[in-house]
Structures are given as C-alpha cells and as structure tokens.
Structure 1
Amino acid sequence: MVKRKPNRDGGGKRRASQARALGTMILGSMLFLPGVLAAAEPPPANMDWSAVQKLMKRVDELEAEVKALRARDSLRPTTAAAPVTEAAIPKETFPQISFHGFGDINYRFSNESGSKNAFALGQLDFFVTSRIAENLSILNETVIEANEENNFGIEIERLLLQYRGTDWFNLDVGRYHTSVGYYNTAYHHGTWFQTAVGRPQFLDFEDGGGLIPAHNVGVSAHGAIPSGSLNLAYVLEVGNGRPYHPVGSAKAPVLNVSDDNEYKSVNLALMVKPDSIPGLQAGIGAYHDTLTPDNLSRTDELLLHAHVVFKNSVWEFLNEGFLMRHSERLGPTHYTPAAYTQLARTFGKLRPFVRFSYVNAPDADPALSLIGANGLRWGPSLGIRYDFSDFAALKFQYDRVQRGGEGNINQFTSQLAFTF
C-alpha cells in the first residue's frame, strides 16, 4: 500500500466534504420527509421552525466556507519538482589528512675539546597520515633541521604507502625505519616521545654517526603469527640497504632513488608479547647486506639484534643487544658488539631515568672507519623528565662517555620537547 504524504490543507478539504454531505442530508430530509409525513398525518402544530432555520443557516455558512477554500486553492501556483543538480549527486569525498608536529629546543655544555656551550634548535618534525581507501593509507614524516654550519635542510624521513590486509599480512612500501631492534621503530624523530633527550649514541641516525642502518627504501611486510596468548609477530624487510661513504661526503647517507650495487638488504625480526605478562615484549632478528664501500673491497655485513622490553604506566625497562660482523672479501672479519639498558619510573609528572650504553667497534674495521663509528664508547647517563603540560616536557640529562685511548667526555643537556 502506498502511503500518501500529509497535506497541510487536508483539514479544510475534509471540512468541505463534511459540509456537502451534511447539506445534502438536511435538504433531502426537508424535501422528502414532509411528503411522507403528510401521507400519514399532518405536521404537528408545535414544530420548532426556528431550529430548522438555524440548520439552514449553518448549511449556508458551510457552503460559503467550501467556496472560499476552492478559491484559495485555485490561486496557489503549482509547485514544480526540484531539478536534480550536480551538487545533489553524491560524490566520493577527498581523503582527510591527519597532521601532527613535534619539536625540541636544547642547551648543551660539554668538556669535549673544541665544543662550545650553546642553545640549539632540534628537529622540527611534521607527521602526516591520510587514509585513501578502505585498506590503504599514506604516511609521511618530514624533518627540518639545521646542520653544524647553522644552515637548515629539509629531509623526508619516512614516506610510505601502507596496505592493511589482515592481521597476518600488511605491507609498507617506500622509505621506512628498519625493524632492527626495538628503539628504532618505537621512537622515531620526535624526541617528545622519548624519556631521554635522545637515542643511545650508537643507535643514532646515519647522518649522526650511528652504527645501525636506521632508514631503508624498499618493502616491509609485517603481521601476526597465529600463536594464541603468546602474540607472536614478524617483520620481513627488503631494501636498498645503507651506503658507506666517508664522513663529510656530499653523498646522501640513505639510498633514496638508486642503489650503489646490485645487492639488496634483508631484515627478518620476530617478536612476542605474551598476555600473561602485560607490557613485556621480546624479540630477535637478523639483518644482512653486501656492502661496496668507497675504495674498499666488497664486504659481507651481518647484524644480529635482540631486545627485552617492559613498559607500563609506571615502569620503563629497555634492554637491547647487537652484534655486527663485517667480512671483507679480500681481508679479515671484524666483530662489533653494542648494547644498552635503560630504567625509568614515573612519579606523577616526574620521570627520573638511568641508562648505560656500550659499543666497541674495532679501529681496524675499514667500513666503520669510513662513517666514523669505530672506537670504544661506554658510560652512564642520568636524567629526569618533567611533563609540565600534556603536550610539552622539560628534560635534564648528564652523560659520561668513557673513550678507549682518548679523554673522557662529560656532557650536560637540557631540552624542551613538545608536540602540536
């Protein structure tokens, strides 16, 4: 059954119909009933003719109301159907963009020879994501940073097309942070996320003399491994790898658009997050690449990494270990161990922390000598973080670095880190 739409003039039309029916009944009764009654008996002498006259007057009033309603309807223009415009046709909306920013401002004082105490602008980090389809999204992280000559530069740190298929298979294509250990993917470029003012020195980025290949350009597949309450997960990455250029070289430390050889780096990592111990994560992995350093023989690189981490709203306990092997095709094999441990506890808005780091890169390793990452470095760091706002924190950190065969370094750093 088709339902009729309500009409605001429906009441008037019903009254008109009722008036016509009532008038017809009254007139018919007055014309027909007298004849019938006359055949039976004369009308009563006491008939109330005034009542009859009132009824007739009411009929006249109803008929006049009907005529007025009809006249009003005849003057009302007919409403035409609204044309279907282009704006009324639904269109696919343009993808929305989610934007966040991070930054930090520092003051450093060190007794290292040649260093000067100074205020320093840190990285200005722009983080953008956009969902372009049901299972596709774009991630971009771009950093503006000044170099030692006080000149600003812009670098795309991450640019990824992300496919989210199932819990067991997801794909990132582009420039990413390698899943070598825990810190490199847990803490990206925004220092606001980190408890300390920065990374352990040997985990610094490539342009800062770090030991690991922090960035790569290629493909990263990751997902869950069916394992019940163990919550196993995997990461498999294939990319261009890391180039080894001399310190101060004009060549970029990341192979963004071309590779320097025909070999590709491969990284495989496995993680576990058991439900029985909330906050615990452990993982192991192996990274392999074939290097062709400038003016050096081809070198086989193998980097083993492992971590055990416990984090909740109160405690932060980070532990990582690395072992790098460089096997020269026409020379010896060199091993570089590295590790750190970090403990922090939250007391309201305060979070004191302590860290101990160690790396021993042989001076005889020609590849590490190229990038300035060789040598013995170890020592403690002490500090405190104060979250005076939901989106800003003040940090103080003291570092003592023991250097084998060289003088020790004492450094103090204060930092304002924020997000917006």
Structure 2
Amino acid sequence: MRDGNWDLIARLLKEKIRPLFTKAKNPAITSEGRKNFHPVPLTRFDGSVLDDEMKPWKVRDVYATRVLEWIISRYKPTDKAHLEAHFPLLVPAILALIDDNNLTFKRTGCELLSKILQPIHQSGSDILVRTNLTSVFEDAITPCLLSLPTITAEDSSIQLLGAAYPALLSLFKTVYKTPSPKKSNDQNEKDRETYAAKVSKILRSNLISSFHHIGSSTPTAISTSASFPHPRLSTFLLEWITTFVKELGINTTKYLQEIVPVLYTTLSNPFGTAHPPLLFAAVSATKFVILNAHPRIWRWRGEILGALCACWLLIVGEKEDREKQKGDKGGPSVTELVKITRELQGAVYVLKHTLQNPVAVVNGQPDANQLAAKEAMQQELQTLAEADSELEGLLFADVKS
C-alpha cells in the first residue's frame, strides 16, 4: 500500500477511531497503549459502564467498528513498520470491544485481535513483548470463556467461544511458540515451557471444566451415565480439547487423568447417537490423546478400550434399528453410523499400534509396564471378543484395507 494511504490510516486512527474508544478509560493500559503496571482500581460499581456517552462507538458513531475492521485488514506481514507504529492506537479499541458487556461486540473484539495477530506473527514483530500487552489481552479474553449455558444461550456461547479460543491460542503462539533469533536459547526454551503451561491451563481450567459444567455427570436414581443437554456446545468443546491436545504434544501425558474421563463419559453415553458429531469429536480426540501420550497410554488402555467398546455396541444396536425402520427419518442415518464405526476401528488400531510399539523411556529402553502391556494386549482383546462377539468387528478389523 502507498505511503499516502498509510498516512490516511494513521490520521483515521488518531483523530477518529481512538478518541471514540478511549472516552471510557481502561485501567489496564496507559495512554500510550502499553501495559499499566500500576493501575488504579475501579470502584465497586462504576456507573460509567451504563453511560452511552462513554461509548459513542456503540450507540452514535456505529461506523467506528467497521472502519476499525477495514483498517486491520490492510496490514500485511510486509508492513511491519506501519503495524508497530499504529499498534498502540489499535489496542484501546480492541480491548474496549472485548471488555464490552454485549456478546456480539466481545466476539468482534476477539476476531479483530486474531486478525491483527496474524501479520504480527508472520512478520516476527515483538511488539507484544515490548509493550507487555500479552497478559492484558489474556486477562481480557479469559472471562469470555465463562459465557456458558444456562446464563448464556448455547448459540451465543458457541459464537463467542468460537472467537475467544482462537484469539487466545493465536496470542500464545505469537508470543511464546515461535523461537526468536533475538533471544538466547535459554530464553526460547523458557518461552516454550511458558507456552505449554498457558495451553495446559486453558485446557484444564476452561475447556475441560466447561465441558463438565454444561453436562451432567451426577448420577441420578434412574441413570448413572452423564448427559449432554447442550450437545452442539459439548461437540465444540471436544473439538477444541483436541486442538489443545495437539498443541501440548507429549505434555498431554501429564493430564490423562483429566482428559480420559471426558472421553469415556462421552463415548459410553447411551444417547450418544442422538448427536453423531459429538461421537465423531470424541473419537478424534481419543486418537490424538493416544498418539501424544503414547509412553503412558498403557496405564489407561482399560478405560479407553471400555469407552470404544461401549460406543461400538451402541452404534451396532442403533444401526440394526435404523435398518429395520427404513421409513423413519428421525435420528442418525445408517451412513453416519457406518462412518462412526470406521472411526472407532481406526482408534482401536491406533491404540493397538501404540501398545505394540513401546517407546524408550529410561536408558534407551521401554519401561516394564509398557512391555507388560504389549505382552498382555492380545489376550485382553481376545477376552473382550469372547465376552461379546459383536466386538470382533471393532477389535480385529483390518483397517488398512
């Protein structure tokens, strides 16, 4: 873009956009758009949050958000100098949107943050480190992750979380994941450790806890299984659990005691076929958990096999019912059920392959527990198949063909 256009954008930000978003002061940042290390605490009840005059961008000058979106879309990785010069002018507006009490504006703020982080990350800019704004954005986004039913409607929750989780993960990747040539090897290693810690915190404190919160894992007099009153949101959270597990890699091993119960309750739920995407998400998550936590997966093979077998039997029973009721359009189709069975077979294949190929842990050798699991695996599978012949199609399927 030509220099004249950048001058126009700078004027728009300074004279129009920034003044509209800074009428209500944010104690987390300074007037220069940096982190405020000595913020003045707000009063217990700040009446200004209800004053429309303090948020003209929301009521009167409604064009401001669209102009801000257009400006952010102009930045490319090659525009590093202009991006860093304008970034302090963009920060108050993005934070104002994320901090707003309206979920639509919160979502817009998270989306704009994700967009501006792309050229920052791709250009290798360290503007977030220099301005110390990483924690400010993290503190602003994290409360958005609590927008869950029943206080927040399921549709609204999915929309907001669908912008908040990507923004938070993009923030962590931009600051911590990519090694910087300006930093020492020790500092880059610390950044990688910080990245794993940040990702695991969101996984445990938000994703997994939210999954339990919106479901019901409390046994009742008539049922001992979990229920999923918000299946679309549960599916969404499982998909993001999978994403965060991928990011954690081998560090997933430390959190198996929290992840495996989520997978087990989902796959073994007797009403899982009512919403097939939930089962697809659970099977996908199971595969990545097995792959990432392979050195310790032997410890959880019983729970994982139990969940996969329970899901298989439910699918087989549902498929038989579907075939008998060809005219009934309710519930999952036979095609969907067949796809789930293939995914289940794939998950069992991954588990078997992992157990059959123990990895070196101590002194270049697998530990005794891995070797014991390898020796016992075939007999354990055979015992399951003998208990219910329907399981043979799951446990001994030729997945490669």
TM bin (shorter chain): under 0.3
TM-score for the superposition, normalised by structure 2: 0.23
More helix by share: 2
More strand by share: 1
TM-score for the superposition, normalised by structure 1: 0.22
